[in-house]
Amino acid sequence: MPETLVSFSGVFAGYGGGDVLKGVDFEVHQGGVTCIVGPNGSGKSTLLKTVSGLVRPRLGEIHFKGHNLVGMSPRDILKLGVVQVPQNHSLFREMTVEQNVELGAFLVRDKRVIAERLATVREMFPIVAERAQDKAGSLSGGQQRLVEFARCLMLEPELVVLDEPSMGLDPKTLKVMFATIRMMNEAGRTVLLVEQNARQALKMSHHGIVLENGRVRLTGTGVEVLHNPEIGALYLGGSLEEAKHAP
Ligand SMILES: Nc1ncnc2c1ncn2[C@@H]1O[C@H](COP(=O)(O)OP(=O)(O)OP(=O)(O)O)[C@@H](O)[C@H]1O
Ligand SMILES: [Mg+2]
């Protein structure tokens, strides 16, 4: 059995106007890729924000390597090795690609360590070397995504949290992006991601979780979730309840 890296128990969270997450329980296995899917507004981004400390749960616990992340500051969570790439593009457009990547190491003091890590991410992401001196804003959406990945690896995180990394990418770039997630995982990072592109994402994930209306409705291997008859209903716009009552 793989070890658990993150465990959610009874997590309730929202933004002041009622709960968005209504008692979430699940586990993220160490060394795997775990993919959360679900309809718009089901609370996927909110769930990821509770991991990185941007949203503080009202109730419940999130355990990561012996720490309860609930109540910890985003900075302290980052220091523990949890790095999130947000849903919207987050590079500083007027800064160069290299400057953006270096910013990822802002918690690292040792210049030699920074240089070593920069060399590693240049190798993993050729674009970081090829476009080093170009302004980040001059890159395509897909290229910016890869630079964001490179930036997050500068902290050598234990857990990489990705919110809809495929958003806005064309089919060819999408393939590169998914292959890159696999590569980061094979390089030792545990990955927790949210994807609207459910089919492709679940295929490449070890574990799948379906979130509906702030609750976990299904868990299993990526392939199990993909082939679950109820999941189709979710993506055709229906709910699981409707699927159960459908003829
Ligand atoms: N900053 C916020 N303040 C208030 N309400 C918010 C905030 N962010 C999200 N919400 C609300 O919380 C609910 C869940 O939003 P969330 O972004 O977590 O869903 P999601 O599953 O990520 O959706 P999508 O697939 O559209 O990204 C929605 O009703 C949304 O309007
Ligand atoms: Mg979202």
Q: Is the pLDDT of residue 134 over 90?
A: yes
Q: Is the pLDDT of residue 81 over 70?
A: yes
Residue whose CA is closest, atom 30 of ligand 1? 41
Among all bound ligands, the one having the nearest atom to the CA of 196 is 1
pLDDT in tens, 182-206: 999 999 999 999 998 888 899 999 9
Q: What is the pLDDT of residue 238?
A: 47
Q: What is the pLDDT of residue 169?
A: 85
| Ligand 1 center from residue 164 Cα (angstroms) | 13
Q: What is the pLDDT of residue 241?
A: 52
Tell me how far CA of residue 110 lies from CA of 104, 154, 191, in angstroms: 13, 12, 26
Residue whose CA is closest, atom 24 of ligand 1? 40
Which residues' Cβ are closer than 6 Å to ligand 1? 15, 20, 38, 40-46
| Ligand 1 center from residue 239 Cα (angstroms) | 18
Structural domains of the chain ordered from first start: 1-81+158-168+192-247 (3.40.50.300)
Cα–Cα distance for residue pair 197/208, rounded to 1 Å:
13
Helix H or strand E segment including 6: strand 4-14
The atom number, within ligand 1, closest to the CA of 87 reads: 27
87 close to 193: Cβ distance less than 8 angstroms: no
Q: Is the pLDDT of residue 242 over 90?
A: no
Q: What is the pLDDT of residue 229?
A: 83
Q: What is the pLDDT of residue 247?
A: 44
* Mean predicted confidence (pLDDT) in 63-91: 93
Residue 236: pLDDT band by 50, 70, 90 thresholds?
A: very low
Residue 176: pLDDT band by 50, 70, 90 thresholds?
A: confident
Q: What is the pLDDT of residue 246?
A: 47
Which of these, 121, 118, 189, 120, lies nearest to 158 by C-alpha position? 189
The atom number, within ligand 1, closest to the CA of 46 reads: 18
* Mean predicted confidence (pLDDT) in 86-95: 89
Q: What is the pLDDT of residue 1?
A: 65
Other C-beta atoms closer than 10 Å to the C-beta of 94 total 9
Site to substitute for ligand 1 among 11, 12, 20, most atoms within 8 A of C-beta = 20
Q: Is the pLDDT of residue 231 over 90?
A: no
Q: What is the pLDDT of residue 167?
A: 87
Q: What is the pLDDT of residue 243?
A: 46
pLDDT in tens, 1-38: 679 999 999 999 999 889 999 999 999 999 999 999 99
Residue whose CA is closest, atom 3 of ligand 1? 15
Residue 235: pLDDT band by 50, 70, 90 thresholds?
A: low
Among all bound ligands, the one having the nearest atom to the CA of 44 is 1
Tell me how far CA of residue 164 lies from CA of 71, 107, 115, 201, in angstroms: 25, 25, 29, 10
Amino acid at 184: M
